[in-house]
């Protein structure tokens, strides 16, 4: 490893500069994937990378891969990356830190005139958040072969626009086949999005893997009728059935504590009139657990709870899988590189499992992968108040640099 030092202030200034692209009055960012704001930040990213002598590749999924040449360009690149899209009321750090932390690594190498043995790549993945087009992490999923390009292009947003149409509209569909440009290894820097590092006064999380995640689209169908003339015993109320199912699902997660998690993030009642008993309720269900076996048990219990609640109100139900991501262990060598970096730098660190899904989850299917976490205030993320410190961001980028160089030194 070298004695190169990243510029924490320069990284922080980039974070604040890009936060203005889609910036919200409350200090967050609204930069939905494949929106005009996404196009603008992509333009900024391309310009910054090309100024460092990188070649920016673009695949048919819209993934951007900037490559800095090495001494031996026959070797596959060692990659860094994350995403620049945000939630509708997102913060300044989720995803963005991983891309800009990687950009700061490239700037540090460039300004020092340091030449790595292998090329070094930096990736901006398309639609990690899944906020506009579901499911999430689609760009990396297509890269890893989990979804086809046709499947990605067909996903629709709330206005009926397909993801393919939106990608073409902002001019960021490339010609390269996703996955054709392989990596030796992949390292992703990210805020923790949870409270553990802050509570334990740790500077770095050495991420050993990602817990299993299952998403579903669910509907309960009963019978709509007049709110003022239908006696309570005669009602077939889809919303009442949903309420019972939601309460049961929460209890299922509590019964599987501390690892079980269940979230109903989107709910809509139809036909949506104040004086009509809802005849249909549609909702999303997100269930997570580090153990695939335990997660499967949770899902089975949730399906039973939904079916029983619908039946009690003389209704029907439908459960459609939306996303299925098994628990993902990371590569031991990549983890060792991150751990070695923290030891070299004398940083307080701990091993940690990621509760959230990340692009690294799919990339791990095709190449050695690990992640680096830094603390965020009160563990808050997917929120405009999301916050980290200049020092923690700088430490994370320094660990990223050291891990990449250590991996490069062994090739």
Residues 215-229 have pLDDT tens digits of 999 999 999 999 999
Tell whether 280 and 246 lie within a shared domain.
Answer: yes
pLDDT band, residue 1 (cuts 50/70/90): very low
- Consult the annotation and say whether 94 binds a ligand: yes
The answer to whether position 1 is within a domain reads no
Could you tell me which of 114, 94, 111, 88 has the C-alpha nearest to residue 189? Answer: 94
List, for residues 73-101, the tens digit of each pLDDT value: 999 999 999 999 999 999 999 999 999 99
Predicted TM-score (pTM) of the model is: 0.87
What phi, psi does 100 have (nearest 5°)?
-75, -30
Could you tell me which of 127, 125, 124 has the C-alpha nearest to residue 106? Answer: 124
- Consult the annotation and say whether 83 binds a ligand: yes
Which residue among 301, 325, 349 closes a domain? 325
With a cut of 50, say whether residue 197 has pLDDT above it.
yes
Tell whether 19 and 145 lie within a shared domain.
Answer: yes
The answer to whether position 2 is within a domain reads no
Tell whether 24 and 13 lie within a shared domain.
Answer: yes
Tell whether 52 and 149 lie within a shared domain.
Answer: yes
Return the residue matching tokens 């309460």. 247
The answer to whether position 3 is within a domain reads no
347 preceded by cis ω (within 30°)?
no
Tell whether 202 and 340 lie within a shared domain.
Answer: yes
**What is the mean predicted confidence (pLDDT) over 220-239?**
98
Which residue among 325, 360, 375 closes a domain? 325
Q: So what's the pLDDT on residue 2?
A: 64
CATH of the domain at 157: 3.40.630.10
Pairing of strands 280-289, 261-263: antiparallel
- Consult the annotation and say whether 358 binds a ligand: no
Q: In whole angstroms, give the CA distance from residue 133 to residue 196.
A: 30
Q: So what's the pLDDT on residue 323?
A: 86
**What is the mean predicted confidence (pLDDT) over 2-22?**
96
Here the tokens at position 290 are: 């580090």
Q: So what's the pLDDT on residue 54?
A: 98
Tell whether 289 and 403 lie within a shared domain.
Answer: no
Tell whether 271 and 365 lie within a shared domain.
Answer: no
Rg over CA atoms, the chain: 23
Could you tell me which of 168, 94, 34, 177 has the C-alpha nearest to residue 359? Answer: 94
Q: Which domain holds residue 194?
A: 8-211+327-409
List, for residues 316-351, the tens digit of each pLDDT value: 999 999 989 899 999 999 999 999 999 999 999 999
Q: What mean pLDDT is reported for the chain?
A: 97
With a cut of 50, say whether residue 391 has pLDDT above it.
yes
Here the tokens at position 196 are: 């553990």
Tell whether 203 and 226 lie within a shared domain.
Answer: no
- Consult the annotation and say whether 382 binds a ligand: yes
Report DSSP state, residue 313: T
Q: In whole angstroms, give the CA distance from residue 45 to residue 331.
A: 28
With a cut of 90, say whether residue 55 has pLDDT above it.
yes
- Consult the annotation and say whether 129 binds a ligand: yes
Q: So what's the pLDDT on residue 343?
A: 98
Which residue among 279, 307, 325 closes a domain? 325
Pairing of strands 64-68, 120-124: antiparallel
Q: Could you give the percent of the chain with pLDDT greater than 70?
A: 99
CATH of the domain at 228: 3.30.70.360
Number of domains in the chain: 2
Residue 251: strand, helix, or coil: helix
């Amino acid at each position: 490893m070298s004695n190169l030092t990243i510029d924490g202030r320069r990284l922080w200034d980039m974070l604040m500069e890009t936060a203005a692209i889609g910036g919200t009055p409350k200090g967050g960012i609204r930069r939905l994937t494949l929106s005009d704001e996404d196009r603008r930040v992509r333009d900024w990213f391309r310009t910054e990378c090309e100024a460092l002598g990188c070649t920016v590749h673009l695949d048919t999924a819209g993934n951007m891969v900037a490559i800095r040449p090495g001494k031996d360009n026959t070797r596959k690149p060692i990659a860094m990356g994350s995403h620049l899209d945000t939630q509708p009321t997102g913060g300044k750090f989720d995803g963005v830190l991983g891309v800009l932390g990687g950009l700061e690594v490239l700037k540090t190498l460039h300004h020092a005139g340091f030449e790595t043995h292998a090329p070094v790549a930096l990736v901006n993945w398309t639609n990690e958040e899944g906020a506009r087009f579901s499911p999430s992490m689609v760009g990396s999923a297509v890269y890893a072969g989990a979804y086809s390009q046709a499947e990605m292009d067909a996903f629709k947003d709330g206005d009926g626009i397909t993801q393919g149409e939106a990608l073409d509209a902002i001019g960021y569909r490339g010609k390269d086949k996703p996955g054709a440009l392989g990596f030796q290894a992949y390292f992703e820097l990210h805020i923790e999005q949870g409270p553990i590092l802050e509570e334990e006064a740790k500077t770095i999380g050495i991420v050993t893997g990602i817990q299993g995640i299952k998403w579903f689209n669910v509907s309960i169908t009963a019978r709509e009728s007049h709110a003022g003339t239908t006696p309570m015993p005669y009602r077939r109320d889809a919303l009442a059935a949903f309420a019972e199912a939601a309460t049961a699902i929460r209890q299922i997660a509590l019964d599987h504590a501390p690892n079980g998690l269940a979230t109903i993030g989107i709910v809509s009642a139809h036909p949506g009139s104040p004086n009509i008993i809802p005849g249909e309720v549609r909702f999303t269900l997100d269930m997570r657990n580090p153990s695939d076996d335990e997660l499967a048990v949770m899902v089975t219990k949730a399906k039973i709870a939904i079916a029983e609640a619908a039946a009690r109100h003389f209704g029907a139900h439908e459960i459609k899988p939306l996303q299925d991501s098994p628990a993902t262990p990371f590569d031991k060598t990549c983890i060792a590189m991150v751990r070695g970096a923290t030891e070299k730098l004398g940083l307080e660190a701990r091993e940690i499992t990621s509760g959230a899904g990340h692009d690294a989850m799919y990339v791990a299917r095709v190449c050695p992968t690990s992640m680096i976490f830094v603390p965020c205030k009160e563990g808050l993320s997917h929120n405009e108040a999301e916050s980290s410190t200049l020092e923690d961001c700088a430490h994370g980028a320094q660990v990223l640099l050291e891990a990449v160089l250590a991996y490069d030194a062994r090739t």
